Amino acid sequence: MRLRMSHHTGRAVLSMTLLIVIAASMRSSVKQDKPIYKPNGGEGSIIGTISFDGIPPKSLVIDTSADPVCEALNPDLRTDWVMVADHKLQNVVVYLRGDSLNSYSFDAPSTGVTLEHKGCRYVPHVLGMQATQTLRIVNRDPTTHNTHPTPKVNAEWNQSQPPDAAAIERRLEPELFIPVKDNQHPWEKAYVGVFTHPFFAVSASDGTYRISGVPPGQYSVVAWHERLGEQALELFVGGGEEKRQDFKFKPSNR
Handedness of CA 60, 63, 64, 68 (dihedral sign): positive
pLDDT at 254: 60
Q: Is residue 152 part of a domain?
A: yes
Looking at the domain assignment, is residue 13 inside a domain? no
pTM confidence score: 0.85
User: Within its chain, how far is the Cα of 81 from the centroid?
Assistant: 16
Phi-psi category of residue 46: left, alpha or beta, with phi > 0 → left and psi -120 to 50 → alpha: beta
**Within a domain: 195:** yes
Beta carbons of 118 and 142 less than 8 angstroms apart: no
SS3 90: coil
Q: Under DSSP, is residue 16 helix (H, G, I), strand (E, B) or coil?
A: helix
Tell me, yes or no, whether 194 lies in a domain: yes
Q: Give the per-residue pLDDT at 102.
A: 87
Residue 16 lies in a domain: no
* CA–CA separation, 247 and 232 (whole Å): 9
Who's near 160: CB < 8 A, 6+ residues apart?
Answer: 144, 145, 146, 147, 184
pLDDT of residue 103: 87
Can you name the residues that pair with 129 across neighbouring β-strands? 194
Please report whether residue 74 resides in a domain: yes
**Is the torsion defined by CA of 131, 134, 140, 141 positive or negative?**
positive
Owning domain of residue 138 = 44-249
What is the number of domains present in the chain?
1
Q: Is residue 143 part of a domain?
A: yes
Using one digit for the tens of pLDDT, what is the confidence trace for 26-54?
A: 333 334 478 999 999 999 999 999 999 99
CATH of the domain at 106: 2.60.40.420
pLDDT means per 10 residues, the chain with 254 residues, are 42 43 39 80 97 95 96 95 96 94 90 97 98 96 98 97 96 97 97 98 98 96 97 97 98 74
- Give a yes or no: residue 69 inside a domain: yes
